[in-house]
Structure 1
Amino acid sequence: MTRLVLPGCRLVLGLALGAVTAVVALPVLVLAVPALVLGRTPPVAALAGVERRRLATLLGAGDLGEDDPRRAAAYLAVRCPVGLLGGVVLFLGGYGAVKSVGVLAAWISGGRPDGIAPTWPIVLYLTVTAAVLLFLDLAGLVAVAALERGVARRFLGPDERQLMRRRIAELSASRAGIVAAVDAERRRIERDLHDGLQQRLVALGMLIGRARRNGSPDLLGQAHDESQRALEELRDIAWRVYPAALDELGLRDALATVAERSPVPVQIRHDLPERPVPSIETAVYFTVREAVTNAAKHAAATRIDVSIAEHGSMVVVRITDDGAGGADPGGGGLAGLARRVAALDGRLTVSSPPGGPTVIEAELPCG
């Protein structure tokens, strides 16, 4: 019930304010005409700002682009009749409600408003009529709100030039982010090789040299064990860089390996009808792997649930853990994931209130 009442109250309030701003816009537009004729900036910025907030907060108009005084003046001129229409519809609905309550109150007190007695046929007729009129009024309110949003998108929404500028900015940011992510990954691989594998191989060489000089079976055994550990570490580094199973076996089996390697139980639900294109499949894999690694390392989680499904034209990846929460979306790992997803025209959202749970959701285009 609350889901219906609250949006309805916002819609009514939005249309009522729209009727007021429509009346206020008339003198503002009269003052704006000379400015437009003289090629100056029309004085509509304050009222246009109020309209943007009203549309975004109460009517859900969404993105309304950048401030442009001329487009704002055109919007105010076009929406004046729409705002007044919304006020008329609200007035008729309110008048009908007050009239109905007055008639009902008169009947309860024993009166006969307009000489009409409350017989059952009359009551039934008036009830049906009131219900039909209420439905028409509500439909009118919804239609006016939709018309308000349409006019706002047409005159206040971003034009092609603004959309192009935004797209260029997004591509520039994603390109810079990818370069930064690649450099960070290279540095991490270099540290793994220098601090881990390289030291282990140096120790292995020293053990083999001592074994050759002394002919000691124990040293040869140590060298063999060290070589096994070096090989395992090399495999682990290669797996972190790019898993061969992703190309050979597909996303399902590659993620099964992630679940097996995780110290925390991981439940994976894979509902994709077919394999995504390689770039999307790779992004999905690394998103899941990074999220699982973070949850196991930092969140003190005891369970991780992964869901991969296709919704319309998007692949939706959702990772939920029952850890302590407080994950920072601007941190190195999550920020890198966000850049990787954004580079593919996707979106990454993170919800991690203190105390948990943490929910990471990535939306990626199917193609």
Structure 2
Amino acid sequence: MSLGPEALAQSRKILVAVIDANAEHRQQVARALTSFYQVADFPLFDHAMEQLAHSHPCAILLDEMAASRSGGDPVRTIRRLMPGVPVIRTLNRSIPHGGDAAQGADACLEKPFRRSSLIRVISGLVNKAVEARWDTLAPQYRDSLKRTVDSFNSISDLIDRGEPLVYRDVNAACAPLVDAVSNHDFKVILDNVKGHDNYSYVHSLRVATLLSLFGHTIGLKGEDMSLLASGGLVHDIGKMKIPHEVLNKPGRLDDDELKVMRSHVPKSVDYLKLCETLPKGVITIAEQHHEKLDGTGYPNGLKGTQLNELARMAAIVDIFSALTDRRVYKEPMAPEDALALMSDRMASDIDQKLLTLFKGMLLDAVSGQAG
């Protein structure tokens, strides 16, 4: 979706700015990014700087012909006005070997470029900027974020190579997170993951945090807490095999797309079972977090007593996290609205006694942070 300048101040979604005099190219970029980002496009550099002054984008695509009326270097102007915002130069020519093809920018792309290349470059630069800010956090928060994102990314590499997950590595990566949760000191972690551009990682970290907090609330300790955090982090790894256009599609999925999306559960389970040392509970979280008490869930239509307490907890946390996550095509639902929806329209889907405990847990966490 392409945003006009007047809408920038109201936009709270991840924003990419495109500065290019070629209207057709701006429209092509906006269409290419619509499933991933909000886009604001500008034909003139100086006008873009004026409009973006109070609503800094997460990245800027800057055509090499874009120029400032003052004659100054556009990249340096962006660095001065918007420090930390990644700049991607788009070139109307082949990228030469040697020299500064990017002209001081963070990256460059030769037109016409592939949609996948564009998204990969933007996402990589956005995440690099977000993760660099983690270095300024206290060690316990920095370690929680850096170790879990490194673990999550390494799992992607293992999947690509057909190698099994190493549970001790995931467990160790989640250790700082478990310590933070046990000490009711986790809000900074959740706050600082919000700007990260890997939605699957953000959602999985939120599930890992809230699921381990749920376990702590009902009295679990030690390895049980580690199991919950690890299970939360890997519960959706099958989504790494789902096409981006399905995973990030704005609006309702059609029947075929829904079938593809739901296949992430068996894909997750099949991969997790390659790890011979993986606790059964981790597989249960991945396999049953979309099941419902009334039997209308997937993939196996389990119901009632067929769902153990771990599966019931995981379903509550996953639903709450999905409702309150920010996506490019939707604003996050307020926590109180999400809980009301889960109590009302989802009353037959999820364990209401556990939901009551979950509500109390969130209330205690908020009041504890406020204090």
Do both share a fold (TM > 0.5)? no
Using the size of structure 1 for normalisation, the TM-score is 0.26
Using the size of structure 2 for normalisation, the TM-score is 0.26
- Greater share of residues in helix: 1
